[in-house]
Amino acid sequence: QKEVEQDPGPLSVPEGAIVSLNCTYSNSAFQYFMWYRQYSRKGPELLMYTYSSGNKEDGRFTAQVDKSSKYISLFIRDSQPSDSATYLCAKDSSYKLIFGSGTRLLVRP
């Protein structure tokens, strides 16, 4: 079992939809979590960084961490075609990040 599991998608939604991206993790140590967005042939771009359980909001993005169920989510409100990309969740562990496999999102105009 991978330490961070993520549905690869692809996930296709209409413009304006609320998008929910999810990851589960299996090791409870070192509980910092990050969400990255990666466009094709580019490096990952940090979207959200969170440590504690609960919600963290930044513009149209909300990161949610539920440590009791080892579940992390990223919500995108009012999705735009420019949000079409691969979204990666990551967990901090002993001076490294462990990544999920990434979810490919397509927002249709």
- What are the residues binding another protein (CB under 8 A)? 30, 32, 34, 36, 41-46, 49, 88, 90, 92, 94-102
Structure tokens at 48: 């959200």
Toward another protein, which CB reaches closer, 29 or 68? 29
Tell me what percent of the chain is helix, strand and coil, each rounded to the nearest 5. Answer: 5, 55, 40
Of 23, 22, 14, 35, nearest in space to 79 by CA: 14
Toward another protein, which CB reaches closer, 45 or 78? 45
Residue 88 Cβ, how far from another protein at the closest point, in Å? 7
Is residue 22 a contact partner of residue 100, using CB atoms and an 8 Å limit?
no
Residue 18 Cβ, how far from another protein at the closest point, in Å? 25
Residue 92 Cβ, how far from another protein at the closest point, in Å? 6
